[in-house]
Amino acid sequence: MLVLRKSADRGYADHGWLKSFHSFSFAGYHDPKFMGWGNLRVINEDRVAAGMGFGKHGHRNMEIISYVLSGELAHEDSMGNIKGIPPGDVQRMSAGTGVVHSEFNHAKDQTTHFLQIWIEPNQFDIEPGYEQKTIPAIEKDGVLRLVASPEGNDGAVKIHADAKVYAGLFNGPQSATLQLDPKRKAYAHLIRGSLNVNGQPLSEGDALLIDGETQLKIDGGKDAEVLIFDLSH
């Protein structure tokens, strides 16, 4: 089963300093048909204006991944981490028993564009944790590069959730396949460009909800950047 979710059908919020597209129900956007997919709960595509950001706020029992596309995200949390997250870095924060953090764009003339992703954990009330890794573009070129997994293998960040996240850059004749367990769900989110996933054309911001399939095939990319999620039911 393949279900196309068009970019324009996502929720949208314009707070002036923050412009955010919501793939699933979040804050003031509610759609009972899109409350999440498997254990994937949130994909927010955020653009934070120069000099602005999210003040201190708390999370519990959620695996939170930040994937920065342009600009830089400044992160500070109650675990003592003070980090800058540039494009190409993947950040994982395990909220566990509770963490307070803030995220800011300290640039004076550049918008920070990033994806904030929430995945429901399979371990609850763990000690909060933080991890950040650089994934060079060359490692994503024409392949699906593992960027988050329960084992933290192959240079991926480790998440306390039954899910794997892959990132890839595809252009021209490049293609890739990923074997899927038909008893699980998968989700493809196209960040930019255009791409075919299992024969379904996707444009920037589109997504494909996948269930009961044995394989995922990517081809027909044009300046494409994509995230693929392998998810529990």
Residue 15 labeled ligand binder: no
Residue 189 labeled ligand binder: no
Count of CB atoms within 10 A of residue 49's CB? Answer: 16
CB 119 within 8 A of CB 91: no
Cross-strand bridge partners of residue 99 = 59
Residue 103 labeled ligand binder: yes
Q: In what order do the strands lie in the sheet with 99-104?
A: 53-59, 99-104, 73-77, 82-85
Cα–Cα–Cα angle for 163, 165, 170, rounded to 5 degrees: 155
Residue 59 labeled ligand binder: yes
CB 210 within 8 A of CB 180: yes
Binding site as annotated, residues for Fe cation: 57, 59, 101, 103
Binding site as annotated, residues: 57, 59, 101, 103
